[in-house]
């Protein structure tokens, strides 16, 4: 059976997140975008609302929500500001592998404190020379008694300057490529951990993105989340769960742009009538509405599969690729509808366009998403007829 109606609980979550976006995120979004500063106050409030730990089971102090439930929340937060939403989201990206693959001891040691006390986590996969192809990573780990010795620099780390915990992927043997990668939980207070200055980005400027360095960091063996042969698989498995949450962020950004553009088109008079009465503008608006709805449905399906424990790599990649492209197209068209005003800092549509661009790049680029989709298509041997 297919149902399109939210449960009363999902409606409550949506309302709560919408209120948070309106009252807490929107009033400060433009300032943090302009200054490129991190909204620490907003993050603390988000923690109190449980937005930083939505998928953590209740027994460890989290919200115990599903992926779809969290997507409903995420659309609202991202509609307020994608940079702030991604700062909230990234803790889930870093925590989820602990929920999915952690030992009981790791869940007790890391999930409980992350939920009970305001803290943030970061996901450290990328490096300066390692993006779409993590198998060539340079960060190394080697066993030294009861510890792993961690060395290397991670790049583009969201919340890098503020995280209390880093989920770090490193190689035990670069020759082994994917098979050599392990995953460690690294508290930021360990000696030898440091981070760079915030990177001055085009968009999502409220999010804090830095390099994170690990210099002879001694990580207890008990903090190993995934050993050789497992680290890469687990990194990718976690992305299948979190990609719908980024894709729905794109839906939130696009929705904001569409709402602004629609309102403006009804007010702006040219050739004696509101521009909304010109069919060319109506077509732009109609394409926005249909694409946003299609993107949302792709996200819901990929999230629904994730909640049922069904492998959703292809659906998550479709949702992420499609929604990110929709956000880019819709925000660009929103700028077009605003005309010259859209190209200024006086109106928020230019921010939405800058924010949208990053979604086509992180959590797997637009091209990598298509490779994942095509790979599965080419593997499938079933035929309908």
Contact partners, residue 117, CB within 8 Å, separation at least 6:
none
Nearest distance from C-beta of residue 131 to ligand FAD, angstroms = 2
Q: Which stretch binds ligand FAD (CB under 6 A): 118-126, 224-232, 256-264, 322-330?
A: 118-126
- Establish if 362 lies at the interface with ligand FAD (CB under 6 A): yes
- Which of 132, 215, 270, 282 binds ligand FAD (CB under 6 A)? It is 132
- Which residue has the closest beta carbon to ligand FAD? 131
Number of residues that bind ligand FAD (CB under 6 A): 21
Whether 233 and 100 have beta carbons less than 8 Å apart is answered as: no
- Which of 51, 89, 123, 232 binds ligand FAD (CB under 6 A)? It is 123
Interatomic CA distance for residues 281 and 42, integer angstroms: 36
- Which of 125, 326, 359, 372 binds ligand FAD (CB under 6 A)? It is 125
- Establish if 156 lies at the interface with ligand FAD (CB under 6 A): yes
Interatomic CA distance for residues 320 and 332, integer angstroms: 18
- State the residue for tokens 């919340």: 159
Among the listed residues 59, 315, 363, 382, the single catalytic one is: 363
HEC string for 296-316: HHHHHHHHHHHHCCCCCHHHH
CB nearer to ligand FAD: pick between 167 and 254: 167
Q: In the annotation, is 363 catalytic?
A: yes
Phi, psi for residue 164 in degrees, rounded to 5: -90, -25
Nearest distance from C-beta of residue 41 to ligand FAD, angstroms = 21
- Establish if 165 lies at the interface with ligand FAD (CB under 6 A): no
Nearest distance from C-beta of residue 256 to ligand FAD, angstroms = 19
- Establish if 214 lies at the interface with ligand FAD (CB under 6 A): no
* Site track for ligand FAD across 173-212, x = CB under 6 A: ----------------------------x--x----x---
Site for ligand FAD in 87-116 (CB under 6 A): 90
280 burial level (CB within 10 Å; 0-12, 13-18, 19+): exposed
- Establish if 172 lies at the interface with ligand FAD (CB under 6 A): no
> Residue 60, Cβ neighbours under 10 Å: how many?
21
- Establish if 131 lies at the interface with ligand FAD (CB under 6 A): yes
Phi, psi for residue 312 in degrees, rounded to 5: -130, 25
Q: Which stretch binds ligand FAD (CB under 6 A): 33-41, 247-255, 320-328, 357-365?
A: 357-365
Nearest distance from C-beta of residue 203 to ligand FAD, angstroms = 8
Interatomic CA distance for residues 112 and 34, integer angstroms: 35
CB nearer to ligand FAD: pick between 63 and 126: 126
Interatomic CA distance for residues 292 and 269, integer angstroms: 26
- Establish if 247 lies at the interface with ligand FAD (CB under 6 A): no
Cα–Cα distances (Å) from 71 to 33, 138, 242, 315, 354, in that order, read 23, 34, 10, 15, 22
Nearest distance from C-beta of residue 329 to ligand FAD, angstroms = 17
Interatomic CA distance for residues 174 and 180, integer angstroms: 6
> Residue 26, Cβ neighbours under 10 Å: how many?
16
CB nearer to ligand FAD: pick between 158 and 256: 158
Whether 231 and 182 have beta carbons less than 8 Å apart is answered as: yes
CB nearer to ligand FAD: pick between 276 and 366: 366
Interatomic CA distance for residues 240 and 319, integer angstroms: 11
HEC string for 90-135: HHHHHHHHHHHHCCHHHHHHHHHHHHHCCCCEEEECCECCECCCHH
CB nearer to ligand FAD: pick between 171 and 209: 209
The catalytic residues are 363
Residues that bind ligand FAD (CB under 6 A): 90, 122-126, 131-132, 156-158, 201, 204, 209, 358, 361-362, 365, 367-368, 371
């Amino acid at each position: 059976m297919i149902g399109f109606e939210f449960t009363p609980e999902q409606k409550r979550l949506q309302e709560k997140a919408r209120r948070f976006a309106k009252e807490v995120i929107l009033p400060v979004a433009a300032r943090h975008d302009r200054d490129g500063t991190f909204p620490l106050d907003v993050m603390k409030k988000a923690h109190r609302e449980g937005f930083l730990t939505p998928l953590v089971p209740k027994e460890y102090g989290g919200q115990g929500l599903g992926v779809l439930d969290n997507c409903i929340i995420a659309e609202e937060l991202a509609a307020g500001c994608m940079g702030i939403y991604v700062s909230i989201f990234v803790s889930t990206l870093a925590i989820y592998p602990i929920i999915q693959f952690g030992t009981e001891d790791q869940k007790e040691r890391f999930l409980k404190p992350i939920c009970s006390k305001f803290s943030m986590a970061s996901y450290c996969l990328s490096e300066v020379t390692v993006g779409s192809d993590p198998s060539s990573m340079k960060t190394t780990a080697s066993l030294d008694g009861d510890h792993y010795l961690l060395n290397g620099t991670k790049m583009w780390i969201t919340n890098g300057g503020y995280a209390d915990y880093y989920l770090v992927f490193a190689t035990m043997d670069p020759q082994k490529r994917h098979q050599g990668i392990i995953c460690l939980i690294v508290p930021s207070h360990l000696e030898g951990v440091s981070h760079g200055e915030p990177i001055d980005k085009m968009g999502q400027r409220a999010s804090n993105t830095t390099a994170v360095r690990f210099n002879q960091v001694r990580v207890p063996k008990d903090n190993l989340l995934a050993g050789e042969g497992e680290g890469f698989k687990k990194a990718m498995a976690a992305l299948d769960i979190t990609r719908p949450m980024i894709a729905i962020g794109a839906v939130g950004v696009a929705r904001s742009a569409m709402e602004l553009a629609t309102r403006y088109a009804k007010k702006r008079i040219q050739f004696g009538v509101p521009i909304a009465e010109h069919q060319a503008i109506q077509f732009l608006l109609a394409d926005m509405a249909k694409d946003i709805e299609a993107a949302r449905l792709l996200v819901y399906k990929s999230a629904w599969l994730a909640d049922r424990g069904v492998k959703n790599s292809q659906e998550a990649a479709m949702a992420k690729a499609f929604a990110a492209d929709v956000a880019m197209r819709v925000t660009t068209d929103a700028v077009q509808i605003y005309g010259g005003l859209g190209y200024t800092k006086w109106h928020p549509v230019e921010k939405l366009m800058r924010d949208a661009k990053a979604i086509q790049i992180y959590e797997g680029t637009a091209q990598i998403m298509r490779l994942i989709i095509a790979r599965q298509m080419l593997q499938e041997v079933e035929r309908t007829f």
